[in-house]
Amino acid sequence: MKKTQKILLALFLLFICLVLSGLYFSGRPLPTEIKEELYDGITYRRKVHTEPRLWIAHIITIDLHTEGISFLVTPPDNKKSDTPLNARTTSTFLRDYNLQIAVNGGEFSPWHSNSLLDYYPHVGDPVAPKGFAASRGKRYAEGNRPVLYIAENNIAQFNKPRSKIYNAISGSHMLVVEGEPIEGLDSEIPAPRTALGVDFGPDRLVIVVVDGRQPFYSEGATLTQLADLLIEYGVYTAMNMDGGGSSTLVIENQFGKAEVLNSPIDSHIPGRERPVANHLGVFVDQ
């Protein structure tokens, strides 16, 4: 091969690598730390960790005493059915109910993801949350999993509601109790994660979403790291939500459009949102 041909081939291969890497990283938030006030009483942080691996966390803290803030758990579509919800992405949930913030909820069934051609649910498919769920006083699922109750006056309490049940959403298991991580949490397997926690008051609700399964960008956090991060942000009690390809955090941006703050990874595709069962949403009227 002539020298000129070798140079052209090298340039072509370099171009291909740049294009592929550009496609791989396109649409993701920058791997830089930021802190900004989204609304009065609501702060968003993006935190970049480099040890023991690269992982990026998105943290929203909400002052529960701030006027104009209220919550919504996904309402049932078919209350009398064993599958009371029609699957939708977190972005769709935010748009459907004119919310300002939305995060994916707990685990659900049926679910499988074998390939891009073989997965369930698709958007609109019937599903059921695992655990107790209620939306603005309407109870539509039962179970024995940990539950976060949020009253109409925004009092947030795990497992024992202080007043009439209003909004309720279940997680898979507890992560933090009385300011300490639960014993026996996994400390080996990094993955995308979602968690909800409250401080001692409770005065603040903390939402954490961790990006994962994306080499050279964010490999994910173990459950131990997730619990430690929650405690770092003042959480006294917290539970783990559905993770993996379900982990998604969305806000309404300045143009009134749904903006995904993290980098979801459904079906191994960065940026692809998974249709899930229920979600936790936040209204801001300020």
Helical (H) or strand (E) element with 91: helix 90-96
Placement of tokens 């279940």 in the chain = 170
Placement of tokens 């539970």 in the chain = 239
109 closest CA partner among 87, 124, 89: 87
DSSP state of 75: P
Placement of tokens 């390939």 in the chain = 115
pLDDT at 270: 96
- Pairing assessment for the beta strands 193-198 and 237-240 based on DSSP bridges: antiparallel
CA distance 149 to 202: 12
- Pairing assessment for the beta strands 101-104 and 249-252 based on DSSP bridges: antiparallel
246 closest CA partner among 169, 196, 193: 193
Residue 202, both tokens:
């409770």
CA distance 143 to 170: 9
Q: Which residues contact 75 (CB under 8 A, 6 or more apart)?
A: 135, 136, 138, 140
CA distance 69 to 167: 14
Cα 133 to Cα 121, 137, 174, 207: the distances in Å are: 19, 10, 17, 18
pTM of the model: 0.92
61 closest CA partner among 205, 254, 171, 157: 205
Placement of tokens 């991580």 in the chain = 181
Q: What phi, psi does 246 have (nearest 5°)? A: -85, -25
CA distance 40 to 63: 9
Which amino acid does the sequence have at 75?
A: P
DSSP state of 88: B
CA distance 146 to 172: 7
pLDDT at 4: 67
If the chain, 286 residues long, is cut into consecutive pieces of 10 residues, what is the mean pLDDT of each piece? 60 49 60 95 98 96 98 93 97 98 98 95 98 97 97 95 93 98 96 98 97 97 98 98 98 97 96 98 94
233 closest CA partner among 64, 59, 66: 59
114 closest CA partner among 245, 202, 210: 245
